[in-house]
Amino acid sequence: MNPSPTLHLNPRDIDAIERATTAAVSPEALEELDGWLLPFDPGTVGRAHSAVPLRHAAIDAAVLDRLEARYQARRMPAVFRLATEPCFDPLRHALIRRGYHPTERPVLVQVGSAKAMREVSRQEPAETASAPDAAWAALFVGEGFDPVDGASRVKSLGRARDSLYASVRENGKTVAAGAMAFGHGWSSVHGMRTDSSCRGRGLAGRVLAGLAEAALHRGFERIFLQVEEGNAPARALYRRAGFETAWCYEYWRRA
């Protein structure tokens, strides 16, 4: 997936998006070393425990020794989150020599505007709250979702500072949900979920609309989100909401 030539994100934007991404998933610990963010977290959220460079530029592979040492010191396996940009080719070759391999599910970083996202749904927008409640959390561990992963995501998203949590409710049950984080000049969408029995009714669009209203209220126009490349329904929704792909990344792990 090639990024849109119309985006023109500058190095400061990339740095800001990576910092905001890590803050939104709120790892238990965070370090910065040689232009990399190193989050440490035992949960299932990949962005909360993978080292990521803060710039898209050639990087000396010698840094891998120092990064691996920091994860080893915390008794955690090193995982690297790398954009599929040509500048990282030498680093990828070095990772392969060390026994690392990319994931089979690349992830797209997409950017858009709050105004365009608000227009994705003409239905009543989702309500938002400053803290996740039990009904919001229950959706993540409900039927059709991995309960272990869901519980980890609820914990990670729930402890982020100054985030909002969107819910569409029916008969006291949350049937669609999402979260929005704010920081480094960006708002960002996370944790989009719809009850498996309620899909195809535009509920996810209502979640996006509610989050967009919150972003506009706070004065945030620029929004980013991340979606697996193979998730066609989600990508179609985000395309209707005006999002374009800025870059693609993969997780690199040892087998």
C-beta atoms surrounding 236 within 10 Å: 10
Rounded CA separation 125/112 (Å): 18
C-beta of residue 84 within 8 angstroms of C-beta of residue 248: yes
Residue ranges covered by each domain of the chain: 11-106, 110-248
H-state helical runs in the chain:
11-25, 63-73, 89-97, 114-118, 134-140, 147-158, 203-217, 232-240
C-beta of residue 223 within 8 angstroms of C-beta of residue 117: yes
Both tokens of 214, joined, read 């919150």
Q: Could you read off the pLDDT tens digit of each residue along the chain, which spans 255 residues?
A: 444 434 679 999 999 999 999 999 999 999 999 999 999 999 999 999 999 999 999 999 999 999 999 999 999 999 999 999 999 999 999 999 999 999 889 999 999 999 999 999 999 999 999 999 999 999 999 988 999 999 999 999 999 999 999 999 999 999 999 999 999 999 999 999 999 999 999 999 999 999 999 999 999 999 999 999 999 999 999 999 999 999 999 999 998
pLDDT at site 144: 87
Q: State whether CATH 3.40.630.30 applies to domain 110-248.
A: yes
With 0-12 / 13-18 / 19 or more C-beta atoms within 10 angstroms meaning exposed / middle / buried, residue 12 is exposed
247 Cβ neighbours under 8 A, 6+ residues apart: 3, 56, 83, 84, 85, 108, 109
* Antiparallel, parallel or unpaired: β 186-194 and 222-228: parallel
pLDDT at site 7: 65
Give φ, ψ of 51 to 5 degrees: -75, 135
C-beta of residue 241 within 8 angstroms of C-beta of residue 202: no
Rounded CA separation 142/137 (Å): 9
pLDDT at site 8: 74
CA–CA–CA angle 120, 213, 238 (5° rounding): 30
Give φ, ψ of 128 to 5 degrees: -125, 150
